[in-house]
Structure 1
Amino acid sequence: MNRMPKYEKQSLSDRVVAHVKEQILAGTLKSGDRLIETDISTHFRISRAPVREAMRILNEQGLITFSPRKGNHVIEMNPAELMEAFEVRASLETQILRKLLREQRIKETDFQQLAKIAREMNSGEKRGVNEAEKFFLLNSLDISFHKYLWELSGNVRRVQILEGLFYQLLIVMNEDLSSLGVLEKKAEEHLRLVEVLRGNDPSAVVRAFHNHIQDYVKVTLPREEQNFCLDC
């Protein structure tokens, strides 16, 4: 499993943060799961200090919560909070897509790279030796695809917020792994997004992206899905 998004620093605390995110990508960490600092420090053969720092970072990114009596736990979100996360992600990513088209920032080499990432989703079905690895491939390629577009915009703060939201939503969707879809279908969806982006029609791009996100909303919040708002 080597599609984990790259981090600039490789301190001990960053290694722990990356490890936790890998478990989220693989679907093995779910809402409410407890993160025991002593177990993590033993696993990495490191002191508790960098583990505590990693927990602080993950808390700031909205991925875990801490209470003095209960310790660190993976976040839990109620339906209203989950819908808000979907809407915020949709709104911010729509702003980025409009900017990319308006300023013509997506070049041919970018389209080729995006298509390559999407095609790797298709081949991932054969490369994944078990369910955890298949979900890791699907989710790490999914975030790589979207993060590529986010970073093209040059909007550092939006990228930081969107990455946090991606993992927050994924944690909840890990409760029912079927909601994540299958590699072949996701490959087709992302390849369609590439083709729509090539057309340089903002309305068509926003519509295609809205449908892409709404597919997740439908399976995650079937009762509330009709209230999903793209630009709220």
Structure 2
Amino acid sequence: MDIIPKYEKQSLSDMVVSYVKNRILSGALKGGDRLIETDISSHFNISRAPVREAMRILNEQGLIAFSPRKGNHVIEMGPTEIMEVFEIRTSLETQILRKILRKQMIEEAHLHRLTEIAIEMKDGEQRCQNEEDRVFLFNTMDLAFHKYIWQLSGSVRRAQILESLFYQLLLAMNEDLSSLGILELKSEEHLAFVEVLRENELSAVVHAFHTHIRNYVRATLPDEEQYFCLDC
């Protein structure tokens, strides 16, 4: 059973955007990989116009770039740029967590939904046929977990920025898929975070989230982790 979704009920350009993002989620696309418009248009049997529009959208979201030598290609980031994205994500998501807790916006139903997502991160592995499916499952559930929190805050602009940053960080981690961690352990880590949220103690929630992100920084940039700035 292929867990990667089909592309239905979308505009042609949105379909191409989803296709590229799903290849990032599955680990198939890495920094510097070329995106050839003719190949994508042939894959979907569509004209190049919606493919070009999709490339424009992905460029605006900071996921692809264009150069005369390589054409459209997935962005490449060095350690300094990757660290900056980690720091920006940490800052914005911390703001969201503080807003949610200070305004008492989390209800038991929200915690239940987050628990379901974290459990699916582990239980869905039985449907995976290969490593690409497994990576896609983990990243999709990870995004769903954090996106649920972002949207719960009602902060639309932060949520939009954070989603783009999430994909940018995935491109960095796709260089070494072991940096994503083990499904069962990551599921437990997310479940533990739900329990911290349930306690509704702001300092504990922020500390747990910072530890969560630092684990990814350590796996992705082990030589630079000591310079990770939580309050930049």
- TM-score range, shorter-chain basis? over 0.9
Q: Aligned partners of 2:24, 2:65: CA distance in 1, in Å?
A: 15
- What do the CA deviations read for 1:136-164 (whole angstroms, capped 9, x no partner)? 00000000000000000111110110000
Q: Aligned partners of 1:81, 1:51: CA distance in 2, in Å?
A: 28
Secondary structure (helix, strand or coil) at the match of 2:83 reads: helix
State how 1:149-164 maps to structure 2 within 5 Å: 149-164=149-164
Q: Aligned partners of 2:220, 2:94: CA distance in 1, in Å?
A: 21
- Per the alignment, residue 98 of structure 1 pairs with 98
Q: Aligned partners of 1:21, 1:27: CA distance in 2, in Å?
A: 10
- Per the alignment, residue 38 of structure 1 pairs with 38
Q: Aligned partners of 2:35, 2:140: CA distance in 1, in Å?
A: 22
Contact map agreement 1:125 1:184 (CA 8 A) in 2: no
- What do the CA deviations read for 1:154-188 (whole angstroms, capped 9, x no partner)? 11110110000000000110000000011101100
Secondary structure (helix, strand or coil) at the match of 2:158 reads: helix
Residue 86 of structure 2 is aligned to residue 83 of structure 1:
no
Contact map agreement 2:122 2:187 (CA 8 A) in 1: yes
- Per the alignment, residue 121 of structure 1 pairs with 121
Structure 1: gaps (5+ residues): none
Contact map agreement 1:37 1:51 (CA 8 A) in 2: yes
Secondary structure (helix, strand or coil) at the match of 2:31 reads: coil
Q: Aligned partners of 1:158, 1:181: CA distance in 2, in Å?
A: 26
Contact map agreement 2:4 2:133 (CA 8 A) in 1: no
Residue 100 of structure 2 is aligned to residue 134 of structure 1:
no
Q: Aligned partners of 1:86, 1:60: CA distance in 2, in Å?
A: 19
- Per the alignment, residue 109 of structure 1 pairs with 109
How does the TM-score come out when normalised to structure 2? 0.96
Q: Aligned partners of 2:123, 2:3: CA distance in 1, in Å?
A: 14
- Per the alignment, residue 224 of structure 2 pairs with 224
How does the TM-score come out when normalised to structure 1? 0.96
Amino acid in the other structure paired with 2:51: V
Amino acid in the other structure paired with 2:77: M
Q: Percent identity?
A: 69
Contact map agreement 1:41 1:47 (CA 8 A) in 2: yes
- Per the alignment, residue 180 of structure 1 pairs with 180
- Per the alignment, residue 213 of structure 2 pairs with 213
Secondary structure (helix, strand or coil) at the match of 1:65 reads: strand
Q: How far does residue 125 in structure 1 lie from its aligned partner after superposition?
A: 2.4
Q: How far does residue 128 in structure 1 lie from its aligned partner after superposition?
A: 1.1
- What do the CA deviations read for 1:190-216 (whole angstroms, capped 9, x no partner)? 001100000111100000000000000
Moved over 6 A (4+): none
Q: Aligned partners of 1:53, 1:94: CA distance in 2, in Å?
A: 33
Q: Aligned partners of 2:4, 2:109: CA distance in 1, in Å?
A: 20
Q: Aligned partners of 1:2, 1:160: CA distance in 2, in Å?
A: 25
Amino acid in the other structure paired with 1:100: I
Q: How far does residue 105 in structure 1 lie from its aligned partner after superposition?
A: 0.9
Q: How far does residue 3 in structure 1 lie from its aligned partner after superposition?
A: 7.2
Amino acid in the other structure paired with 1:170: L
